[in-house]
Structure 1
Amino acid sequence: MNASSHSLPTPFDHAPVELVARRPPWGLFALLAVAFVAVPLAGSDYWLNAILIPFLVLSLAGLGLNLLTGYTGQTSVGAAGFMAVGAFATYGFLLRVPELPLPLALVAGGSIAAATGFVFGIPSNRIKGFYLMVTTLAAQFFLEWVFTKFPWFYNHASSGTISAPRLELFGHELGSPVGRYLLVLATVALLTWVAVNLVHSQIGRNWMAIRDMDTAAAVIGIPVDRYKRLAFAVSSFYLGIAGALWAFAYLGTASAGSFDINRSFQILFIIIIGGMGSIAGSFIGAAFISLLPIFLSQAGQALLGGNVDAGQIQNLQKIVFGVLIIAFLIKEPEGLVRLGATLRERLARWPLRF
């Protein structure tokens, strides 16, 4: 028998597979080009201020919560509390250290939120499930109380609010809708890239092992307690930066009430509807949450001839959200991401099978 028939495969035998696996994501590049170039040129102030900026900030907040709940399996309903920490901390840095550049102020505010999340994540060492959720709920109310009780955090303003300081980056003012949109977009794009690499690293694999079964993860040598606290810290870092952007790039002025329990539930709904344990699900869920109220408002005005007030529209939104949450938890816990994947699979087999 020819000796060459028993030769080991060389790296070149699998070259086509490697080339396909490393194919540049041209679709993503095109999407980023549209977001960074076409949208600022063609988008109106209304779309930038009322739709795109809140969508991006909510996507970042959903991404932060997804790292904790979707990838690590630690239930939390205190996301808005950590957003408040990031917002008030960033405000404090920009106010009291005016020479600090805006990116560093955002990172510093996010770091304070990360430290706070680390502290409130310590109980996850011993409790889990419903009891951990109650602990994060307590953190939500405690942080709201702190930022309401102590005037130092809002610079003793009589209104109890913080106002966005002058936003500058490399000498350029970011007060216009386009400037604030590009600031938010660049921040979200960078942190999303970091999150994608993080969940595909050893840290992300350890998080998912803890999510699937923390006892088995501990048996194979993963320091479960350490990685749970790390998940709380990283999640709170993302939420803190999202809170600062929500206060300064979207609202312009904010108080502790801007980050109440309703905001926490909104972020939780984002990852449930979009898909837990999915980066894309955070963006899909945020788009759904952002656009559905506008659609319901327009539909209500069109169907009822403008004879419906804003309060009834808000009640209708709550009913629709409640029904959707129940439906997704029962029928499709993996959210819209899984529904989209299933539809693509069926279309790929059509017309042989659908």
Structure 2
Amino acid sequence: MINGNLKASYADDERVLDNSYKKAFVYGMMVVLAGFAAFANDYLILVACQMGIMLIAVVGLNVVIGYTGLMSLGHAAFIAVGAYGVTILHNLGAGTVPDAVMPFIAVPVAVAISALIGIVVGLPSLRVKGLYLAVATLAANFIVIFVIEQDLFAPWTGGMTGIETPAPNLAGWVLDDKREMFVLIAVFAFATILTVQNLFRTRVGRAFIAIRDRDYSAEILGISLLRFKLTSFAISAAFCGLAGALLAYFYASILPEQFELALSLQLVAALIVGGMGRTMGPVFGVIVIVMVPEVIKVVFGAVSGGDPSVAQLRAPLQEMAFGFLIIFFLMFEPLGIVHITDRILRALNRWPFARG
């Protein structure tokens, strides 16, 4: 009976795509994305861009929650830092730094600032965990939004009314079209997934996993909890900062309300639904979480016929749907959609010997 994949060398053991089904899936998705960018309509491109931006953020959240075992409800703050950081840097550099060069400066600086704030937010993880750490990170989210909304910083952040964002100019290539932005977002999303996949094949990534499984045992083995917990928060915040930078380039303007608690809960919901601590978990989770509002919108449009009294129920129903998905997967499939696909792929890989 076949019960696994034969690995006859270290190269086989290190290979990420270790069977034909994984290879077919990855290469097939690359072809699908290329065709999607060429032939999809504007509405589908818009939804796909939203998926790509959220995917980068959820992959970052997965580093902290899924791989390191540290609960966080404040990652929307890091997205806000990345979005506002890029916009402010563009405004400060206007007339001094060429537009074609500015994104190559603004994005890395905004990501670095997000990572530094992530280290500060991660400091409570050295003393508390679980619900207490979740509350601490949630407080950080409120603090960042509070600072953005203050009149003192309104000349830079726009305050409550928001701020207009620049169009990215990559060495003379102005991305003023959603389809062009989709290509950029898709490249960054793919690179983010690949980076995290390989991160957890290194000493740092294995230290994160050891802390998740049992932090006291990891410390006895010589793993510095101070160093690696803060590193985990820094890496996670950096990815969310990158998502925020792309969000700023994607939308014509940004508002503080875009980065409030609802966004943090969406990120956590996507991670739970897709599967924590797995590479493909954020991908499946983001697809579900982004498509739920779109499905509700289509259904309500067909049922209400444009009646505003019925259409106003759409927002609370959307929140209820997110809550239902979280409860359902926590009760019946806590490992997420990725675990279901794993069972299917294992059965296909062992066919015709697989049973049940």
1:132-183 CA-to-partner distances (Å, cap 9, x unmatched) read 1111011010001011115536536476312111311110110011111112
Match of 2:206 in 1: 205
1:87 is aligned to 2:87: no
1:272-351 residue pairs with structure 2 within 5 A?
272-302=272-302, 309-345=310-346
Give the C-alpha shift of residue 305 in structure 1.
5.7
Aligned to 1:165: 166
Partner in structure 2 of residue 234 of structure 1:
235
Determine the structure 2 residue equivalent to 1:179: 180
Paired AA for residue 230 in structure 1: T
Which residue is 2:254 aligned to?
254
Query: Is the Cα contact below 8 Å between 1:154 and 1:161 reproduced in 2?
Result: no
Tell me the distance in 2 between the aligned counterparts of 1:206 and 1:305: 55
- Give the aligned partner of residue 243 of structure 1: 244
Q: Secondary structure at the match of 1:216?
A: helix
Q: Secondary structure at the match of 2:280?
A: helix
How far apart in 2 are the matches of 1:246 and 1:66? 19
Cα distance between partner residues in 1 of 2:345 and 2:163: 46
Give identity over the alignment, percent. 29
Question: How many angstroms apart in 1 are the aligned matches of 2:63 and 2:13?
Answer: 30
Q: Which residue matches 2:66?
A: 70
Q: How many Å separate the matches in 2 of 1:212 and 1:235?
A: 19
Q: Secondary structure at the match of 1:175?
A: coil
1:32 matched to which residue of 2?
30
Q: Deviations along 1:68-112, whole A, 9 cap, x unmatched?
A: 100000100001111111111111211112424313321211110
On the 8 A contact 1:274/1:282 being kept in 2, the answer is: yes
Equivalent-residue separation in structure 2 for 1:281 and 1:156 (angstroms): 34
**Is residue 51 of structure 2 the alignment partner of residue 48 of structure 1?**
no
Does the CA-based 8 Å contact 1:161-1:253 persist in structure 2?
Answer: yes
CA separation in 2, counterparts of 1:321 and 1:120?
26
Q: Which runs of 5+ in 2 are unaligned?
A: 1-6
Q: Distance in 2 between matches of 1:19 and 1:78?
A: 37
Secondary structure in 1 matching 2:223: coil
Amino acid at match of 2:42: D
Asked if the contact 1:92/1:153 (under 8 Å) is kept, the reply is: no
Structure 2 contact 69–212 (Cα < 8 Å) conserved: yes
Aligned partners of 1:69, 1:28: CA distance in 2, in Å? 25
Matched residue count: 339
Taking a change above 3 Å as real, the CA distance of residues 194 and 309 of structure 1, as seen in their structure-2 partners, is same
Is the 8 Å Cα contact of residues 275 and 337 (structure 1) preserved in structure 2?
Answer: yes
Kept in 1, the 8 Å contact 2:77–2:259? The answer is yes
Task: Indicate the RMSD between aligned Cα atoms, in angstroms.
Answer: 2.6
* Aligned partners of 1:151 and 1:157 also within 8 Å: no
Equivalent AA in structure 2 for residue 276 of structure 1: M
- SS of match in other structure, 1:309: helix
SS at match of 1:155: helix
Read off the aligned partner of 2:278 and give its amino acid letter.
S
2:4 aligned partner:
none
2: distance between equivalents of 1:16 and 1:277? Answer: 24
Match of 2:161, SS? coil
Whether the 8 Å contact between 2:59 and 2:239 is mirrored in structure 1 is yes
2:327 partner letter? I
User: Does the 8 Å contact 2:88/2:157 carry over to 1?
Assistant: no
Query: Aligned residue for 1:265?
Result: 265
Unmatched 5+ stretches in structure 1: 1-12
Distance (whole Å) between structure 2 residues aligned to residue 215 and residue 283 of structure 1:
32
SS of the residue aligned with 1:74? Answer: coil
CA contact (8 A) 1:163 1:248 kept: no
**Conservation of the 8 A alpha-carbon contact between 1:151 and 1:160:** no
Task: In structure 2, give the amino acid aligned to 1:47.
Answer: L
